[in-house]
A and B are shown apart, each in its own frame.
Chain A
Amino acid sequence: MANERSDETNELDRRRFISGAVTGAAGFMAGGQAPIHSHAEEHQTVPADVALRVRALESLLIEKGMVKGEQLDEIVQTYQDTIGPRNGARVVAKAWTDTAYRQRLLTDATAAIAELGYAGAQGEHMVALEQTPAVHNLVVCTLCSCYPWPTLGLPPAWYKSAGYRSRAVIDPRGVLREFGVTVPDDVELRVWDSTAELRYLVIPQRPGGTDGLSEAALAELVTRDSMIGVGILPAVAPRGGQA
């Protein structure tokens, strides 16, 4: 997000531009190419008018009674603030601390995840994959962007990038090295390509130095990357508290 500031400036310019357009100046779609500051595709460009066209569409749909502005706000807010990797982190932390739950999660992940209240679109058919000292799992969707929304939220741009989608299956160890993860040669690497309607949640190994931590404290340690299989969780340095 190196160019966040200039994006905001552009956004202001666009707002002035569109308010001008709405008051009569037609043809605000005209415009050349401008760089978009999405780091995953930074070598690419996008027509400068995308944000304007989106805004125009929204006002059309509202005026036609097809959607309400507040309804859109609520959807954005839900996926921005409520549905996200903290949900998956709670599932993982519970699996670490509750053997019976872990077993249920590995047997029927959809039902076990629903026990914690996480269900719905793109989480209807879940499979949990357990990282072990002998097996490392990595999830990708080579054909599109399939991802378990109820537990991890919407996928990050890198997960949807052509680079990740193309290379995760042919060079997973190389991809993992780019993420700073070295999988030892004697560890079996399993790549899961979400081509059908199953969605995968990786259960990372519990980091060392976490004995005695509460489930809530453990959940704080779980990263989104670790639940996709591109991250591992570092051991926690002893803090001199009770063991």
Chain B
Amino acid sequence: MNGVHDMGGMHGMGPIGHDPDEPIFHHEWEGRVWAMFRATGAYGRGVWKNFRFELEQLPPAEYLRMPYYEKWFTVLVNRLERSRFITEAELASGKVDTSLPRPQAPPPPPPVPGAIPGASRLDLKVRARYRTGQSIRGRNIHPEGHTRLPRYVRGKRGVITRDHGVWALQDTDAAGGPVGHPQHVYTVRFAARELWGTQAAARDSVYVDLWEDHLERG
């Protein structure tokens, strides 16, 4: 989706706020959010599917306002409420509604052919449409769902520098499950001047990892 999360190349987005000795969590609650997120994952198996898309669907003003872990907290609460593990009333009162059923984690899904435990890359043979060294172009597409094709490379010409093998497409408009649309992922080199014109340094470049569905010959 063409949302505020797709920030590459935007201006006026505020200071970077670099701190070389930054703590991992700035407040205790941030660590608790992180831990709850990790610890409840099993309850959402097969249901809570695309965290990134859920983040991107936060209202833009909220997305920009919220500190990082508040976004995570918001998505976590949305998920827990959607799955009826908690209610807004329970969260508001801090008291468990004992008339509700006790949450149960769904059983682990059956293994998916081609999936490698503990990895995202797939063990599937899929013919590569492009080869290293080939010129390509980022497609000029504007999916309304989640996509890993940033706006700043759409319509831009690049060169494939590395083939990373076969992966499930993460774009939600096209996705069909955990090994939906398996295809090659490549690192593509875009010259900085192709992306940004002559204000960029002539020898600089941006490397972007893209799925075949994001590319076309060019």
Assess the B27–A196 pair: CB atoms within 8 A: no
Task: Please measure, in the bound complex, the distance between the C-alpha atom of A61 and the C-alpha atom of B44, giving whole angstroms.
Answer: 14
Task: Please measure, in the bound complex, the distance between the C-alpha atom of A88 and the C-alpha atom of B203, giving whole angstroms.
Answer: 29
Kindly specify which of B66-74, B107-115, B129-137, B173-181 makes contact with the partner chain. Answer: B66-74
Task: Please measure, in the bound complex, the distance between the C-alpha atom of A67 and the C-alpha atom of B35, giving whole angstroms.
Answer: 10
Query: Which of chain B's residues have a CB closer than 8 A to the CB of A169?
Result: 8-9, 152, 195, 206
Task: Please measure, in the bound complex, the distance between the C-alpha atom of A79 and the C-alpha atom of B23, giving whole angstroms.
Answer: 11
Assess the B121–A125 pair: CB atoms within 8 A: yes
Assess the A51–B16 pair: CB atoms within 8 A: no
Assess the B150–A143 pair: CB atoms within 8 A: yes
Query: Which of chain B's residues have a CB closer than 8 A to the CB of A197?
Result: 120-121, 167, 185, 209
B181-205 near A? 1/0 per residue, CB < 8 Å = 0000101000010011000110111
Known: A124-B120, A160-B68, A191-B207. A185 touches B201 (CB 8 A): yes
**B52 near A: Cβ within 8 Å?**
yes
Option from A46, A73, A166 in Cβ contact (under 8 Å) with B8: A166
Assess the A54–B73 pair: CB atoms within 8 A: yes
Assess the B18–A51 pair: CB atoms within 8 A: no
Q: Which of B23-47 contact A (CB under 8 A)?
A: 23-29, 31-36, 38-40, 43
Interface size on B, residues (CB 8 A): 83
Task: Please measure, in the bound complex, the distance between the C-alpha atom of A230 and the C-alpha atom of B18, giving whole angstroms.
Answer: 10
**A16 near B: Cβ within 8 Å?**
no
Give the residue name and chain of the A residue nearest to B26 (CB).
A38
Assess the B7–A66 pair: CB atoms within 8 A: no
Assess the A80–B24 pair: CB atoms within 8 A: yes
Task: Please measure, in the bound complex, the distance between the C-alpha atom of A163 and the C-alpha atom of B90, giving whole angstroms.
Answer: 37
Assess the A64–B32 pair: CB atoms within 8 A: no
> Which of A7, A51, A142, A188: most chain B Cβ within 10 A?
A142
Task: Please measure, in the bound complex, the distance between the C-alpha atom of A198 and the C-alpha atom of B186, giving whole angstroms.
Answer: 10
Option from B23, B67, B80, B195 in Cβ contact (under 8 Å) with A46: B67
Known: A57-B77, A66-B103. A27 touches B120 (CB 8 A): no
**B128 near A: Cβ within 8 Å?**
no
A235 to chain B, nearest CB (A): 18
Query: Which of chain A's residues have a CB closer than 8 A to the CB of B152?
Result: 142, 169-170
**A60 near B: Cβ within 8 Å?**
yes
A61-87 near B? 1/0 per residue, CB < 8 Å = 101111100011101100110001000
A215 to chain B, nearest CB (A): 23
Option from B28, B187, B196 in Cβ contact (under 8 Å) with A198: B187
Task: Please measure, in the bound complex, the distance between the C-alpha atom of A158 and the C-alpha atom of B202, giving whole angstroms.
Answer: 28
Task: Please measure, in the bound complex, the distance between the C-alpha atom of A40 and the C-alpha atom of B66, giving whole angstroms.
Answer: 11
Assess the B55–A144 pair: CB atoms within 8 A: yes
Option from A18, A164, A223 in Cβ contact (under 8 Å) with B20: A223
Assess the B14–A163 pair: CB atoms within 8 A: yes
Query: Which of chain A's residues have a CB closer than 8 A to the CB of B18?
Result: 158, 178-179, 230
In the complex, the 6 A-B pairs of residues with the closest C-beta atoms, listed nearest first: A40-B17, A196-B209, A142-B8, A162-B13, A75-B35, A72-B35
11 A–B contacts from the bound complex (CB under 8 Å): A46-B65, A55-B29, A75-B39, A125-B119, A158-B16, A170-B8, A188-B205, A192-B206, A193-B206, A195-B148, A224-B20
Other than the given A143-B150, A163-B15, 13 more pairs (CB < 8 A) read A39-B17, A39-B19, A53-B77, A54-B29, A60-B96, A76-B34, A143-B6, A156-B22, A162-B14, A163-B13, A166-B11, A195-B210, A198-B185
